[in-house]
Amino acid sequence: MNASATGRPLSGVVPIAPTPFDDHDEVDDAGQKRVVDFLIDADADAICILANYSEQFSLTDAERERLTTLILDHVAGRVPVIVTTSHYSSKVAAERSRRAQQAGASMVMLMPPYHGATIRPDEADIFQFFRGVADAIDIPIMIQDAPVSGVTLSAAFLARLAREIDQVQYVKVEVPSAAAKLRELVAQAGDALPGPFDGEESITLLPDLDAGATGTMPSALQPDLLRAIVQRYQTGDRPGAMALYERSLPLILYENRQCGLRACKALMQEAGVIACERVRPPMPALHPATRAGLVELAHRLDPLVMRWAR
């Protein structure tokens, strides 16, 4: 059960595809296809869809199903696609994952089950949740360890999930002190976890690579530049990777701290990849001054997103 066409575990840069909307708040199908084509041209090692940075929380179930088919049909096997299938219900998560596999997904990604600020299962029920999803599919599972869920997943528990559930082969760690947790997780899980990843726009990419991460799942803002960092690191050129990381870090920080998921859409609209940078209410649009600062930084760094549509 491998997620890459080569038969090796998936590694490298796996950006999250944003979901473009038009001025009438409808999903822009043509824009979504352009996003996918841009990410493939940026040499993404795979693409993740329907994640938090895809605004999955603002999509209807019908839109989710249609987007899964639309994107997988358009990718047409050019790169692996990871479909996010998170849900509180074990039944719904398993059904979403089964449908994703049937549509051609190479992997599914799920957060642990949660609802609101207070409803959290204990570890035993979380284990059964992932066991139930695994029983429904044959493709790998990536567990998303993110603060948004409010669920604490210890390194020991994540390692146990990887050891005891065959499909749990990847973990995306994007919590405070991610490098320390990745280091502990890699030590405890060993070969049972071929895919330790980081996230959070790759804000701690170099420390996380040092800790054993083999991949990163950022936004779709600068996948080409992040891929160069990872490639330098994987070939043993840590100083070169550090130099490129330091160059990209101002834009990563601005995205992470000032803009969130709106950054990628703003640059894609600015550069003509998509026609509209709208995010669904109640999320507000970027303040014009914040947006201007983002564009200024992007022009200095010149990632592919600023040139691709020209």
Residue 184 and residue 154: Cα distance in Å, rounded?
A: 10
Query: Is 172 tagged catalytic?
Result: yes
| Cβ-based neighbours of 112, under 8 Å, separated by 6 or more | 121, 126, 129, 130, 143, 149, 151, 153
Residues whose CB is less than 8 angstroms from the CB of residue 288 and which lie 6 or more positions away in sequence, other chains included: none
Cis-peptide into 282, omega within 30 deg: yes
What is the Cα–Cα distance from 69 to 102, expressed in whole angstroms? 10
DSSP 228-261: HHHHHHHTT-HHHHHHHHHHHHHHHHHIIIIITT
Q: Is the Cβ–Cβ distance between 82 and 47 less than 8 Å?
A: yes
* Nearest alpha carbon to residue 241 among 255, 257, 227: 227
185 in Cβ contact with 145 (< 8 Å): no
- Point out the catalytic residue in the list 33, 172, 181, 265: 172
Helix (H) or strand (E) run with residue 265 in it: helix 262-270
Are the C-beta atoms of 215 and 9 separated by less than 8 Å? Answer: no
Catalytic sites, residue numbers: 172
